[in-house]
Copies of this chain bind each other. A is one copy, B any other.
């Protein structure tokens, strides 16, 4: 019966490149899942006439009401370089209103318009329909959510 040392010495030689095999990366399946899910949202979001990025911006505004661009960006993990054109597009569609904050002219306050709020009625039908493309058990989904939130909370500060 082999002891620990034997087990080690008889182990197959480790490929020095194993660590950069695509299949051994954590980032790659994350990247693929994220893209694939966003892509599969498209047919549903087309019904609402918005994109995925516009959708998560609306979700934040539906839930939290008026916010400035920085707060929205902190929440969505998006910077002003991304948000400014997204919010201008949503404004063009009549779904949000943008206005300078009166007490701090640097800030731009963003809020869903009446039409923007009304869009939520259609949006509620999306998550149950999207469920069909997620082939995970309720337990796996909960586990996945737990781990992802842990990862997000654990990124080193910059």
Interface residues of A (CB under 8 A from B): 16-17, 19-22, 24-38, 40-41, 52, 56, 59-60, 62-63, 75, 77, 120, 123-124, 126-128, 130, 132-136, 140-141, 143-145, 147-156
Contacts and interface: CB of A to CB of B under 8 A. Distances in A.
B134 A26 contact: yes
Given A30-B30, A77-B35, A21 B155 contact: no
Contact residues of A: prevailing secondary structure: helix
A152 B20 contact: no
A29 B63 contact: no
B135 A155 contact: yes
Given A27-B38, A144-B144, A156-B133, A59 B21 contact: yes
Nearest to A22: B59
Given A27-B41, A29-B152, A33-B34, 8 more contacts: A17-B124, A25-B127, A26-B134, A29-B145, A31-B56, A133-B156, A136-B154, A143-B147
Contacts of A155: 36, 40, 133, 135
